[in-house]
Structure 1
Amino acid sequence: MQPRTPLVNLQHPLVRAARRFVGVTFGIPVVVALLMSVVDSYRRRGKKPKPFPTRAAEEVPVGDGAVTTYTFGQDLYDDMIAAIEGAQRQVLLETYIWKADEVGQRFKQAIIDAAERGVEVRVIYDSFANLVVRPGFKRFPAPVRVLAYPVYPAGWRFFDLRRYGRDHRKILVVDDTVGFVGGYNIGTPYATEWRDTHCRITGPAVADLTRAFADFWNLHRHRRFRHREPPMLLSAPRTWEPRIRVHRNIPRLWIFPIRAMYLEAVNRAQRNVWMTHAYFIPDEGFVDALVAASHRGVDVRLLLPAKSNHIVADWISRGYFRRMLQAGVSIHRFRDAMVHAKTATIDGNWTTIGTANIDRLSMTGNYEVNVEVIDQSLAQEMERIFETDLGNSLPLTMAEWESRDVYARFTETILVPLRPLL
């Protein structure tokens, strides 16, 4: 019997050249990125962020409810714990990172206490984001129903890209009457050392956060509970709240509305576009929208961390700076602490607060949730928050950008192939 001829001759000169090209194109940037991360981690050991200015939590009436903004983690955690302690019927908690420290233990005890007094408690967390958390912390008593989103969610369908997104959402809903959503994970460092933004919502829009949690639970419950866990049922539809919309990226269903939400708002902008983001690695279409807005006279400002907790993301984002600066986009770098917020406000009327960064992972990869609010009072408060943050930031000028050294230019060039991956 004659041996089969392989479909592709792996030893063919063109095939070997292609393999070598791919290896060099992506291998070198990956090695450089790993070395940068290791060195940066070593340099940051033992260093504590400095205090930064914040605004007190501000409640703004919106429609038949209210939206409260938080820019200091301790204030947020106190109100979240109070809501859990006051729960009478149901607590739904979903988070990306949940540290086993003082704050993490405080949240765990609060939901255990709620379950023991008869409240229905459901918890979702991302297992990959919590790999370093000790196993004992992730064990809960039976009354608490827990869905740990798996480290490897694709199962045998390794070829299905829809099954690789992480659960990057942060949601708390209590009794269908109050909901929390935003950028804050759960942990002691986030309480005082990170500058982030979260919001508390009351009124009819809370039902949309409940539905977001329930849809995720029902979509993934079979993997965690097999078939013994029935679908999570929702109460009757609530009153529609036209001023507030909850947008959800659902990679399993190939649904990614958050990017479109941003682009529609930016393309409508007439006065200002002020955005705060922890990791800013946009696609060309997103950059085009910001540049076009600036060219038509819109005041476009970006507030980014001077140095984030992911140094590679910082360096990759710099690849877009020249074009934006030339177009008149202002770039400001938050000093001395990590700014982790994912927010924007436009024309004194439009606001979004949520979990999605402006990068590929958030826009077309992970499970994310953003709240879109059309309200002048909230937009004005978000502008005040932005101006407070500007007081703790440094503007990036074109002269400073052009004067960066050869090492910086070389590093930026080497990391370009990683843009589509992050």
Structure 2
Amino acid sequence: MLEYLKNNIWIVLIIVNYLLAISAVVTVLLKNINPTKTVSYIMVLVFFPFFGLFVYYMFGQEYRKTKLFNRKDISNTSVIQSVGDNLRIKEKDLDDISDRFEEKIKLVKLLKASEKSPLTLKNDVDILVNANIKFERLFEDLKEAEHYIHVEYYVINDDKIGTKLLNILCEKAKEGLEVKLTYDDVGSKISSKMKRKLTESGVEHYPFMRVLFSSLAGKTNYRNHRKIAIIDGAIGYVGGINISDDYVNYDDSARYWRDTHLRIHGEAVKILQFHFLTTWDFVNDSEIEIKQMYFPVIDCAQNIPVQIAASGPDTDWANIMEAILTAINNAETYIYLTTPYFIPNDQIVTALQIAARIGVDVRLITPKKSDSWIAQHATSSYLEPLLEAGVKVFLYEKGFIHAKTMVVDDLFSTIGTCNMDNRSFNINFEINALIYHKGKSEELKSIFMADLENCEQLDYERWKERSKYCKFQESFSRLWAPML
């Protein structure tokens, strides 16, 4: 028997491969997921032996409903419940402000169904264009922290800008402040030396879902793509800018990086805090203590309505995607969308097409040159049907645009970590701020218009005439779109 196996090893391996592939195909079919995604996985499993299994076990397992990411339900603690009670808006108050929000009140009600996304009214927000401005403001706030600092990022590198931030955290911890830091183990690169310094300084730090060779399957797929910083429970940061020199436009930078972040002072920081604590509860093995100081009374003179929408494998619904879809469906005048990766699902594509066809001014900015070959060509495969429907598509030429923003009808805008792709909608942990304010929407609209000056607008007739080789690259890349 052993001799037979030795002489026919490849035949045995192929048989084993297809037995596992058949099992995976049955599993995919029983999930009743999007047919396009189902067909993509079946094709990979059938036509690419071994590699297909690798792709499926790395990227094909859906954990939203199976709750792989079981976390202790910290929402049941008395402190969290008290915060929720204080933030909860009565139905009467919601009706009173419905005229101010016009049709966008549907968005508020959509997320209000989730108690983790209450509408907060007392907020002041600053839109921060590019990393240089973001880090200047963030470092100032960190240095002025008096009680605690909570930081959660997808990418933290101990390069020039990262080392500066980590050193500030060490200094504040030595001063006696509580400093908690969590970073994604795939996205971040922090040296052992820096980790020792953080520990010795008193900074509590944990990686999110540590990836070792023995546990690669699935864990490289469900990453924490959120970018959150919280100072004393009163100031919070959220947006697209990670902690890395790649995001900073130094004088000698290889390319220009265009990004957008948000600084919040007000009640919405409490919701950022809640989501940070759920992550901290997941990465930290010890019992977490929910302290009242995490949710202080905030004196904020401004009244800018903000909702925090979070989504990931630990949520029952794709909250951010649903919010974006609802905003598109309720647009009356314009939709201005910026995203580094545009690999949308069918619902988003159809909604944008319908909006454009009924006369809404729909404009999309995406990079002319992406940082991913397959993502760039997959994006290109979606542009022709949008152009045909009347969507105006602009390719950013000045550098790489990484901003993840949308502004609708001078009333609604969103800034956060979520890209317009399947990975952000369904796989990674993401977080966005939804802002209902005319002034801030007009500000984000002005930023969008300024970005258009560095864009090439695509012409539908010329785009149709691109070479068959380009179309083949796009079609090939699109096959992988559900897994990107």
Q: TM-score, normalised by structure 2?
A: 0.71
- The answer on 1:397 being equivalent to 2:459 is yes
* Aligned residue runs from structure 1 range 234-249, under 5 A: 234-235=292-293, 243-249=305-311
- The aligned residue for residue 235 of structure 2 is 178
Residues in 2 aligned to 1:116 and 1:29: alpha-carbon distance in whole angstroms: 49
CA deviation vs aligned residue, 1:345-390 (integer Å, no higher than 9, x gap):
0000000000010111100011110000100000000000000000
CA deviation string 1:48-78 (max 9, x = no partner): xxxxxxxxxxxxxx95331101112111101
Number of the residue aligned with 2:382: 320
Q: For 2:429, which of 367, 370, 373 is the aligned residue?
A: 367
What is the Cα deviation at residue 232 of structure 1? 4.1
* Maintained 8 Å contact 1:154/1:164: no
| Cα deviations by residue, 1:223-259 (Å, 9 ceiling, x for unpaired) | xxxx3x5344455586898810000113134442000
In 2, the alpha carbon distance for the partners of 1:67 and 1:178 equals: 10
User: C-alpha separation between the residues in 2 aligned to 1:73 and 1:113?
Assistant: 22
1:112-191 paired onto structure 2 within 5 Å: 112-130=170-188, 132-139=189-196, 140-142=198-200, 143-152=202-211, 164-191=221-248
Is the 1:345–1:352 Cα contact (8 Å) retained in structure 2?
A: yes
Q: What's 1:202 paired with?
A: 265
- Partner SS state of residue 156, structure 2: coil
Structure 1 distance, partners of 2:459, 2:51, is 28
Give the whole-Å Cα distance in 1 for the aligned partners of 2:388 and 2:148.
52
Shift of 1:153: 9.3
Candidates 209, 212, 216, aligned match of 2:279? 216
What CA distance in whole angstroms lies between the structure 2 residues aligned with 1:127 and 1:371?
24
Distance of 1:279 and 1:259 partners within structure 2: 14
Which letter does structure 2 place at the counterpart of 1:185? N
Residue type matched to 1:277 in 2?
A: T
2:166 paired with 1:103? no
Match of 2:307, SS? strand
Contact 2:369 2:400 in 1 (8 A): yes
The correspondence for 1:78, drawn from 136, 161, 179, is: 136
Q: What amino acid maps onto 2:145 in structure 1?
A: A
CA distance in 2, matches of 1:315, 1:283: 16
Q: Separation in 2 of the partners of 1:95 and 1:16? A: 36
The residue aligned with 2:351 is 289
Q: Structure 1 residues 194 and 232 mapped into 2: Cα distance closer, same or farther (>3 Å)?
A: farther
Would the alpha carbon gap of residues 307 and 263 (structure 1) be closer, same or farther in structure 2, given more than 3 Å must change?
A: same
Residue 46 of structure 1 is matched in structure 2 by none
Q: Which moved more, 1:366-375 or 1:249-258?
A: 249-258
Q: Is the 8 A contact 1:153 1:164 kept in 2?
A: no
Q: Does the 8 Å CA contact 1:173/1:179 hold for their aligned counterparts?
A: yes
Deviation of 1:189 after TM superposition, in Å, equals 2.6
CA contact (8 A) 1:162 1:254 kept: no
Distance 1:403 1:117 in 2: 63
Give the secondary-structure state (helix, strand or coil) at the position aligned to 1:202: strand
Aligned length: 375
| 1:275–1:147 Cα change, 3 Å | same
Measure, in 2, the Cα distance between the counterparts of 1:234 and 1:171: 20
Give per-residue Cα distances to partners, 1:169-189, cap 9 Å, x unaligned. Answer: 111110111111100001223
Structure 1: 5+ residue stretches without partners: 1-9, 31-61
Unaligned ranges ≥5, structure 2: 1-13, 26-41, 53-119, 250-255
3-state SS, counterpart of residue 141 of structure 1: helix
SS at match of 1:373: strand
1:262-290 CA deviation, whole Å, 9 max, x = no partner? 01111000000000001110011110111
> 5 Å matches for 1:226-241?
227=286, 229-235=287-293
> 2-side partners of 1:147 and 1:368: how far apart?
18
Q: CA RMSD in A?
A: 3.2
Q: Give the distance between the partners of 2:209 and 2:326, measured in 1 at CA.
A: 34
Q: Specify the alignment match of 1:64 in structure 2.
A: 122
Correspondence for 2:91: none
1:337 positional shift: 0.8
- Tell me by how many angstroms 1:322 deviates: 1.1
CA distance in 1, matches of 2:49, 2:399: 32
Kept after mapping to 2: 8 A contact 1:29/1:415? no
d(CA) in 1 for partners of 2:410 and 2:194?
44
Q: What letter matches 2:306 in structure 1?
A: I
Q: In structure 2, give the amino acid aligned to 1:288.
A: T
Letter in 1 for 2:407: T
Which whole-Å CA distance do the structure 2 matches of 1:246 and 1:337 have between them? 29
Distance 1:301 1:280 in 2: 13
- Give the direction of change, closer, same or farther, for the CA distance of 1:168–1:27 in structure 2 (3 Å limit): farther
Within the candidate set 378, 382, 386, 2:440 is matched to 378
**Greater per-residue helix proportion:** 2
Determine whether 1:387 maps to 2:444: no
Flag the 1:323–1:15 CA change in 2: closer, same or farther, 3 A.
same
Q: Which residue of 2 aligns with 1:346?
A: 408
* C-alpha distance in structure 1 between counterparts of 2:361 and 2:417, whole Å: 24
TM-score by length of 1: 0.81
- After superposition, the Cα gap between the structure-2 partners of 1:244 and 1:315, relative to the gap in structure 1 and judged at 3 Å, is same
Deviation sequence 1:201-224 (CA, Å, 0-9, x none)? 1111111111111121113322xx
- Select the residue among 366, 372, 385 that pairs with 1:304: 366
The residue matched to 2:167 in structure 1 has which SS?
helix
Q: CA deviation at 1:15?
A: 7.8
Shift of 1:407: 1.7
